[in-house]
Amino acid sequence: MGGAVIQLALALFFATMFVFHVKGSAVFKGAMFFPYLICGMAVGFIFKFFYARGYVLDSLLQMFGVAAEEIPYWLQDQRINNISLAATSVWRYMGQNMILFLGAMMSVDTDLYEAASLDGANKWHQFRYIILPSIKSIVVLNLILSISGSLSAFEPPYVITNGTMGTGTYFVIMNRLAHENQKVGLACAMAIVLLVIIVICTVAQNLFFKYVFNDGTEDESKAAVRAKRRAAKAAKVAKGGR
């Protein structure tokens, strides 16, 4: 869950940077979205060797002066192995979230930015009062996708650690029960429980964001619709009385 929050925060940060036309943004957008196009199993094998003892990450740290005995075991140490797997997920899916955020931000009328600048609003104010309220539906969508994806993660944990040393996700454990322990019924029950958990999380997120982003305009519009219906009904009754 923590990885999903970090992933969304980084995606929102980079999308906000790119919407203000940062130099070279096209190259960075392509580079950040590319990992999403890679197969999940391939991502697992890439990071299995990336985190392996004495391979890419360890070699890079030693190049910067970190002693070999000070480098932790990224996949064996239970204090950090889940963080390593979460970093893999952030690397793979952040680009997708960023593109969704960026698409929503590009639909915002640029005249609003110009008017805000003339009124003395800085970039933070433009983000807080123009961008964020305009993309709230995409924020909810990305959060739902990220949390449901973290609950159903399978390929990278299965390939990198096979769910050992405390890294077993829900799907990895289900796969082990169904195919290794031959407990298909229990695995099916776990799948149903996971579905219920995802539905509950989705409903809770929708209610939370509806409360956070409610500025009163929705209630006013509903009240206006009800008033219009009452007026139409009254006019119909009055017409029938004649």
3-state secondary structure 60-112: HHHHCCCCHHHCCCCCCCCCCHHHHHHHHHHHHHHHHHHHHHHHHHHCCCHHH
* C-alpha separations of 98 from 8, 128, 138, 177, 216 in Å: 8, 17, 11, 36, 29
**What are the extents of the domains in the chain?**
2-241
pLDDT tens per residue across span 185-215: 998 998 899 889 888 887 887 787 777 666 5
State whether residue 22 is helix, strand or coil: coil
User: What pLDDT does 28 receive?
Assistant: 87
Q: Does 2.30.22.10 match the CATH number of domain 2-241?
A: no
pLDDT tens per residue across span 40-88: 889 999 999 999 988 899 999 999 998 888 899 998 888 898 899 989 9
Q: What percent of the chain has pLDDT over 70?
A: 87
pLDDT tens per residue across span 149-167: 887 788 888 899 888 888 8
Query: How does residue 21 score in pLDDT terms, banded at 50, 70 and 90?
Result: confident
Residue with tokens 């950040």: 32
The whole-angstrom separation of Cα 139 and Cα 30 is 21
Residue with tokens 């931000």: 105
Structural tokens at position 240 = 């029938």
Query: How does residue 231 score in pLDDT terms, banded at 50, 70 and 90?
Result: low
State which H helix or E strand residue 41 sits in. Answer: helix 40-51
Residue with tokens 């997920």: 89
Neighbouring CB atoms inside 10 A of 99's CB total: 17
